[in-house]
Amino acid sequence: MPLLKRKPFSLLEPPSDLQPRELVFQIRFTKEIFRDYQEYLKRINLYRQRIWTCKVTGKSNFTYEEALVSEQRASEKVQQFPEEFIVPTLRTIQYSMLPLSDLVRKIKAELQESLVEGAKLQGKKDGCVHSCKIIKVFDEEAGKGRYEVAWLDNDDKISGTAVVGEEDFVRKKLPFGREVLKSYIRESTYRSLPWVIHNNLASKYGIPTDTPEELKGKISFLNGCVIKNKKRKTSKEPQEGNAGKHKKSKIQTENGLLRDNDLENGRWVHLVKTLHASLAFFTIHAEYIIVYKLTISIVIAENTGDESIKYPIDDQLVEPGADDPIFTDRPTPSRDFTIQMDSVGDLLLVWDFCSSFSRLLYLWPFSFEDFEKAICHKDSNLTLVVETHASLLRLLMNDEGLYYIVIQRKKRKPKITLITWTEYLCDFLEMIDISELSTHIPTIKRGHYGLLEPPIKLRILKELVDQAIATDLVRAKIDERLEERQTLAASKRGEALEEGKKKREAKERLKAVSEANGIVLEQNSGTVEEVSCVAGSNGAGLENGHVAELSSEQKDVSQNGESGHKNSGLREKTKKLLEDLEKSKDERKDFLEKEMEKRVIRTNSLGKDRDYNRYWFFRRDGRVFVESSDSKQWGYYCCKEELDALMGSLNPKGERERALKKQLDKYYSRISKELQKRSKDIARRTAIEDAILRRSTRVRAPPKDNPSLAFLQYSNKWKVLMG
């Protein structure tokens, strides 16, 4: 199982009193079961962080699922470890005190030098090289090993045997690399320094488990497993006069950190920093250090430089750096929602679905603010609310699914009216049979739908949306939009390829013309590049006369010598051509992007910040919404200044904020335009409301003219299409 901060992580046990039909939340890759959604969300967010380590390979910076995949692949490679090398490898591993890298080097050197039974390699026979397999290893004679080998044919069948010397073998590389060997060592041991293999492997391959003499007294056993006795280290307190003079340092090896805070004068620090990177094992004595040829890396604690860090990394690990730009303070999002905070997510879900599939629902689009006010209103027959329910219920009936069967059994008429819509809604609630919602059926039947709390209204609408998404009509619409988006994307790619092709062809033609007139090319070298770029936008224009016109101009220049005047005219024509073709290219690109945006399938978040807050932008609402990591808090930014401050606060050294900033940069112009448009609309509505308040009571406008009450005058203009 993956490690959390290099330590084992235990999975949760399933609830003992779990009922067969109980609704629960389950994590796909761990099979953990949760009753509480917030606990499930907390655990899944933990698994998504890049803080996990693959137990087999030792590699870190994984999510939990990525670490699982890494362990699976590494285990598959470990299982392919050659059988003939297992015993000598395990013998070398058992009770070794070497660091992992040194242990790997030692094992590879031993296996390369010594030949074991079962090994397949190449041997010399009758002056030729043949494949062979070692059957038996004899005792060394006169310092040279003797081996009985079986000669193998092309089908790996034995064609004969012979006794050969070590000099008759042709050496070749081992059939595995360093990483596989490291993974095998980790997989076959349960502790390091000393390395101790699992008891089942020791008994299977006959590896001695007796403690070596040099380790007796240093290790002990607990429940049959080796543990290492840790002796308490004594440290001397630094003298007051020298306090602050010594640089605290830590020396990092592959198996941990060794610290020395009490060395005087810091002489060894300068010595070790001058050594090459191929040093590792060391012994500290008084004021100096004896260094042996292994591998270490020195890290000075006071050194805050991050040259060794490869960005981006997990946002929580990013530390302020001296070369960082000045980040702006992140603005506090507005939270002035009319509805309860924990219901904002459901409100956005229902509104976004109704807006995205409005034509399929025959439902005239409405703003998010109007929808929010309508849900909180106490009127039981508010047009906006009634039409929203009726459109969703009508879609379920047209799909001819389970709800259609229920309506047929009750002999309901296919037409939903302002008077009968609650009957159809109650039939739906009885069909889904959710206890939390079924208790409100009597209230709805008595005509008091408006008295329901907004969270209950949204829960009903959310269930309607969930049922609508599963219908064949919606799925067919999604498939249709997918095909249209793919067609538009293919057109966009094709135009880009054609543009590049025409650009290259035009560049070659203009280069040939310029070479024929060296004076023009020398005096106006930028013209060729400009026209070449223009050709990429619309090569047909150059192909149908523009190139010929430019060529004639250049010929006139070379014949008459009037290079200054002609070059000026050539630049003007080139500039005009460049502007026209760039404009047509941008217009075509904008057209394709707008057409793809019209065929929306679902709204994806822009990204997350370092605290896992999600950011959303919806096409029909000029705000950037902010969702907390636990989905309990919502806010929004509604002006361009707040958007700029948000982007200025993002640190690109973090993975999440880097991706979020990239998305905001991509859609910056579009979001800014919507934010500015919204600001103007708010200012206009405020001016109208102020004008209404300033009027006298005698000439005051009726309430319907107030912009804040516009949701009361909603009319479904597409309802007639159902006739």
Answer yes or no: do 12 and 133 share one domain. Answer: no
Q: Look up residue 619 and give its DSSP letter.
A: T
Sign of CA dihedral 494, 499, 500, 504: positive
10 Å CB burial of residue 367 (0-12, 13-18, 19+) is middle
Which ranges in 314-453 belong to alpha helices (H)? 344-356, 358-361, 368-376, 383-398, 402-409, 421-432, 435-438, 441-445
Q: What tokens appear for 207 in the block?
A: 């590896």
405 is a domain residue: yes
Domain stop point among 470, 490, 506: 470
The whole-angstrom separation of Cα 348 and Cα 369 is 10
Judge whether 490 and 498 are in contact, CB under 8 Å: no
345 is a domain residue: yes
Residue 110: phi and psi, rounded to 5, are: -65, -45
Domain stop point among 470, 487, 512: 470
Judge whether 254 and 295 are in contact, CB under 8 Å: yes
Q: What tokens appear for 115 in the block?
A: 């030949």
Residue 151: phi and psi, rounded to 5, are: -75, 135
The whole-angstrom separation of Cα 66 and Cα 317 is 19
Sequence-ordered strand ranges (E) for 100-157:
120-125, 128-137, 146-152
348 is a domain residue: yes
Find, among 513, 512, 507, the residue nearest to 537 by Cα.
Answer: 507
Answer yes or no: do 59 and 142 share one domain. Answer: no
618 is a domain residue: yes
Answer yes or no: do 52 and 98 share one domain. Answer: no
The whole-angstrom separation of Cα 395 and Cα 295 is 69
Answer yes or no: do 54 and 95 share one domain. Answer: no
Answer yes or no: do 365 and 407 share one domain. Answer: yes
At 465 the pLDDT is 93
Q: What tokens appear for 690 in the block?
A: 């102020």
Answer yes or no: do 129 and 183 share one domain. Answer: yes
Q: What tokens appear for 471 in the block?
A: 């219908």
The whole-angstrom separation of Cα 401 and Cα 469 is 13
Q: How many helices (H) and strands (E) does the chain have?
A: 25, 23
DSSP-derived secondary structure for 359-399? HHHT-----HHHHHHHHH---TT-HHHHHHHHHHHHHHHHT
Answer yes or no: do 627 and 694 share one domain. Answer: yes
Range of the domain at 110: 82-211
At 265 the pLDDT is 39
CA atoms within 13 A on the CB side of 499: 18
At 183 the pLDDT is 80
- Residues in the chain with pLDDT < 50? 142-143, 232-307, 519-563, 696-698, 721-723
At 258 the pLDDT is 41
Give the CA angle between residues 566, 572, 575 to the nearest 5°.
140
Q: What tokens appear for 81 in the block?
A: 């470890």
101 is a domain residue: yes
Q: What tokens appear for 184 in the block?
A: 């095998």
Domain stop point among 149, 177, 211: 211
Distances from the Cα of 499 to the Cαs of 527, 529, 547, 582, in angstroms?
19, 15, 17, 12
User: Identity (one letter) of the amino acid at 258?
Assistant: L
Answer yes or no: do 50 and 122 share one domain. Answer: no
Find, among 456, 440, 438, the residue nearest to 448 by Cα.
Answer: 440
Q: What tokens appear for 157 in the block?
A: 């069948």
Answer yes or no: do 63 and 90 share one domain. Answer: no
Answer yes or no: do 114 and 23 share one domain. Answer: no
The tally of domains found in the chain comes to 4
State in Å, rounded, how far the first CA of the chain is from the last one. 61
129 is a domain residue: yes
Q: How many CB atoms lie within 10 A of CB 299?
A: 12
At 570 the pLDDT is 55
Q: What tokens appear for 274 in the block?
A: 């001058």
Judge whether 297 and 252 are in contact, CB under 8 Å: yes
At 103 the pLDDT is 87
The whole-angstrom separation of Cα 346 and Cα 566 is 68
Residue with tokens 């069909």: 431
At 331 the pLDDT is 92
DSSP-derived secondary structure for 75-92? HHHHHTS-GGGHHHHHHH
Q: Look up residue 4 and give its DSSP letter.
A: E
Strand (E) or helix (H) holding 609? none
Answer yes or no: do 141 and 54 share one domain. Answer: no
Distance of CA 702 to the CA centre of its chain: 53
User: Identity (one letter) of the amino acid at 128?
Assistant: C
Answer yes or no: do 52 and 148 share one domain. Answer: no
672 is a domain residue: yes
CATH code of the domain covering residue 91: 2.30.30.140
634 is a domain residue: yes
Q: Do β-strands 282-285 and 288-291 pair in parallel, antiparallel, or remain unpaired? A: antiparallel
